[in-house]
Amino acid sequence: MDSPLATVALPAALAIIMFGLGLSLTVADFVRVARHPRVVTIALACQLLILPAVAFGLVLLFDLPPLLAVGMMVLAASPGGTTANLFSHLYRGDVALNISLTAVNSVIAVVTLPIVTNFALGYFEPDTGTSMGMQFTKVLQVFAIVLIPVVIGMLVRAKRAVFAHRMDRPVRIASALVLVLVIAGTIVAERENVGSYLADVGMITTLFCLASLTVGYWIPKLLGADKRQSIACSMEIGIHNSTLAIAIAISVLDSVDMAIPGAVYGVVMFPAAAAVGWLITRGRAETTDALPARDRAERATEAG
């Protein structure tokens, strides 16, 4: 596809989002992983192993057409989005854990995304008339669109911490607007088929989102994570970077059809995450006094 959406808008949109992620990261976020290796390992296992398996099972159950099936698998292999941090904060999860998981996931996705995508392309064999595999050059493309903006954002934060802090809110707002525009642009590009696509993937993307949020909460909790860590894992695992999934589908794999699951997911994940967050915390609202001392100190600092 040689449209402005694929060649200009999407790469720019993803660059803004990933740069914003970089502005929120420091080397300490990666070091922090060593302090909670068990929880991080459990969360990564859910993200990298269980979710692709769940998506694969749902794709077979719903008998999706090959292009949409590949799109679902690309979505399942995409790391958590920065919105997960916001939802985790809203429902009093361990936001520091969220940030660490997002950082690690974004790095690992450079390897795992091409692996899952190539598996899906080989299994479902979509009829596109062109070679669809992610060859080395396309893997490098994934590396460039995922990591380079993040690294630039981290360097800016390291050199200009005050500027990074000041830009945090504007970049988050811009990222949210960009996500909306990317989803709208994808749907408009396929407006003649939107009705059938929604019928095809509306239910499966909703079920996948709910399954991701549920797996992300209960598996870490059953394996010993505390409530705040479990909430963080739920939001990190359940809220995928749908913009990345759309960008991979359109800019790398040259298929708008494959982007439809990511676009629909980008719409359903917000109410789904809000509903699951409410259910998790329902009847167990914490008072400020019940919060950990570190969080009370942070809130006191913010209030001051």
Name residue 128's amino acid. Answer: T
Between the CA of residue 264 and those of 61, 181, 270, what are the distances in Å? Answer: 19, 13, 11
CB-based contact 235:91 (threshold 8 Å): yes
The lowest-confidence range among 6-15, 86-95, 104-113, 149-158 is 6-15
User: According to the model, what pLDDT value does residue 10 have?
Assistant: 66
Q: Which residue has the higher pLDDT, 18 or 223?
A: 223
Which are the contacts of 120, defined by CB distance < 8 A and separation ≥ 6?
69, 70, 73, 74
Q: Which residue has the higher pLDDT, 5 or 277?
A: 277
Measured N-to-C along each axis, helices 227-238 and 83-90 cross at an angle, to the nearest 10 degrees, of 150
Domain ranges of the chain: 4-303
- Summary mean pLDDT of the chain: 79
CB-based contact 226:289 (threshold 8 Å): no
- 60 is written with which tokens? 């077979």
pLDDT over threshold 90, residue 46: yes
Mean pLDDT in residue range 265-289:
76
Q: If pLDDT is split at 50, 70 and 90, which confidence band does 294 have?
A: very low
Give the torsion sign (CA, 117, 270, 148, 186). positive
The lowest-confidence range among 21-35, 69-83, 145-159, 235-249 is 21-35
Mean pLDDT in residue range 239-261:
85
CB-based contact 39:225 (threshold 8 Å): yes
Burial class (CB in 10 A: 0-12, 13-18, 19+), 222: exposed
Side-chain-side CA neighbours of residue 219 (13 Å): 23
pLDDT over threshold 90, residue 293: no
Q: Looking up tokens 């709208």, which residue turns up?
A: 184
Mean pLDDT in residue range 197-205:
87
pLDDT over threshold 80, residue 9: no
CA dist 166 and 230 (Å) reads 30
- 16 is written with which tokens? 């803004």
pLDDT in tens, 70-89: 999 999 998 887 778 778 88
pLDDT in tens, 120-178: 998 998 875 544 555 556 667 677 777 788 788 888 888 888 887 787 777 767 766 76
- Identify which of 135, 131, 144, 80 has the alpha carbon closest to the alpha carbon of residue 255: 131
Q: Looking up tokens 């399954």, which residue turns up?
A: 211
Options 1.20.1530.20, 1.10.287.1770, 3.40.50.1360, 1.10.150.20; CATH for 4-303 is: 1.20.1530.20
pLDDT over threshold 60, residue 215: yes
Q: If pLDDT is split at 50, 70 and 90, which confidence band does 214 have?
A: very high
Q: Looking up tokens 């990317």, which residue turns up?
A: 182
